[in-house]
Structure 1
Amino acid sequence: MTDQHTPTAAPAALSMMNTALDRIAAVCRLITGLSLVTLTIIFGWLVFGRYVLNATPTWVEQAALLLVMTIAFLGAAVGIHENTHLSVTAFRSIAPGWMRRLFVVITDLSLAGFGLLLLWQGTKLTLFKWGSTIPLIQVPEGLRSLPLTIGGGLILLFTLGHLVRLATGRDPRRDTIV
């Protein structure tokens, strides 16, 4: 009786996983978009302050570093989720189907390991630096490495999602066609 329910349960669970990962990626896109807009505005203020008011706002550089880290690491995680990250697939594309699938698994496992490493070391760095403050903006220094930590966790999560879809035969990535 459980065998009859297994085929319908797997697609429902996979659908729920895909929906959750898509929503997480959408939140990341929103955060990176808002960060990019904010970065543009504060650099506009920097230029206005420097050349019109003759008083350079010194906090802009520190705030910009935080925003760039957010854009880079959350954007990279979304790139993993949407399979738009930079990758070289020429060798993989000319390989036979079974070997191509093996290369995809190796690539995904490598990305998962990289995400885990970013998560682990980023967490240690964030906790280590949290007690001190960033000069000029008076926020915890650990905020500089928090995007690295979150981005690493998301890279791990999104790559595990790819591996689950690959294992269930429902991986939509074009370069995994067997």
Structure 2
Amino acid sequence: MSDLSTAFPRVEAFLHRIAKLCILLASIALVVLILTFGWLVFGRYVLNMTPTWVEQLALLLICYITFLGAAAGVFEDTHLGVTLFRDMLPVTVQKVLVILIDIVLAVFGGVMLVAGITLMRFGWTTMLPMLNVSEAVRTLAITSSGGLLMLFAGSRAVLRVLSFGRPAQTSNEEGR
């Protein structure tokens, strides 16, 4: 990185593309979930043959929808947060707290990543009932979300530390 002012937009654009991909994949999973339940209802009430694999697929899809959506929410800074007390503090203290929050989120993502890898190793040979895919496919959602949380929050913390003395460029950045 030769110049921080040119590096920030490139890093943010790269992370933005990854977050949009998370939202796209979660959206596709949601559509598949809805179609699957439509097939369940059709199979049960019209064909009188309940497809038994729907429940397991639904559980798998919900894992991906939830974890990918959570990672994108961390990137977009739309995750649950209570800012009442932080907003009452001086601006410099607010900036420090926001950086600490990003660091805590990145560490939490790292713990999810390591725990997810452990779960993937443990469940690699176990097959999900009715789907005949490895249990590791389900825990991949946890692992990927942890890695994405670590990437999104960690890079945001680094960028905030590097630009700590600079004034905020837009009103949107002050809320982040």
**TM over 0.5: same fold?**
yes
1:111-150 aligned at under 5 Å gives the runs 111-150=105-144
5+ residue gaps, structure 2, are none
Which of 76, 81, 91 is the equivalent residue of 1:82? 76
Q: Is the 8 A contact 1:83 1:173 kept in 2?
A: no
Q: CA deviation at 1:151?
A: 0.3
Q: Is the 8 A contact 1:77 1:154 kept in 2?
A: yes
Which of 132, 151, 165 is the equivalent residue of 2:145? 151
Secondary structure of 2:4's partner? helix
Give the equivalent residue in structure 1 for 2:51.
57
Q: CA deviation at 1:175?
A: 3.2
Q: Is the 8 A contact 2:99 2:161 kept in 1?
A: no
2:174 equivalent to 1:174: yes
Which residue type is aligned with residue 33 of structure 1? S
2:73 equivalent to 1:91: no
Give the equivalent residue in structure 1 for 2:154.
160
2:62 equivalent to 1:105: no
Q: Is the 8 A contact 1:59 1:137 kept in 2?
A: yes
Q: CA deviation at 1:106?
A: 1.8
Which residue type is aligned with residue 43 of structure 1? F
Larger displacement relative to structure 2 (159-168 or 106-115): 159-168
Deviations 1:29-81 (A, max 9, x none): 11001000000000111111111111110000111111000000010000000
Give the share of equivalent positions with the same residue, in percent: 43
Q: Name the CA distance, whole Å, in 1 between partners of 2:95 and 2:48.
A: 60
Deviations 1:101-137 (A, max 9, x none): 2211221111011100000000110111011211111
Secondary structure of 2:119's partner? helix
Secondary structure of 1:145's partner? helix
Runs of 4+ with >6 A deviation: none
Q: Name the CA distance, whole Å, in 2 between partners of 1:25 and 1:52.
A: 40
TM-score of the superposition, structure 2-length normalised? 0.91
Q: Is the 8 A contact 1:93 1:175 kept in 2?
A: no
Q: Is the 8 A contact 2:106 2:149 kept in 1?
A: yes
TM-score of the superposition, structure 1-length normalised? 0.90
Q: Is the 8 A contact 1:80 1:159 kept in 2?
A: yes
Larger displacement relative to structure 2 (73-82 or 44-53): 44-53
Which residue type is aligned with residue 134 of structure 2? P
Which residue type is aligned with residue 143 of structure 1? V
Which residue type is aligned with residue 174 of structure 2? R
Give the equivalent residue in structure 2 for 1:24.
18
Q: Name the CA distance, whole Å, in 1 between partners of 2:60 and 2:173.
A: 32
Across the two proteins, how many residue pairs are aligned to each other? 170
Q: Is the 8 A contact 1:130 1:141 kept in 2?
A: yes
5+ residue gaps, structure 1, are none
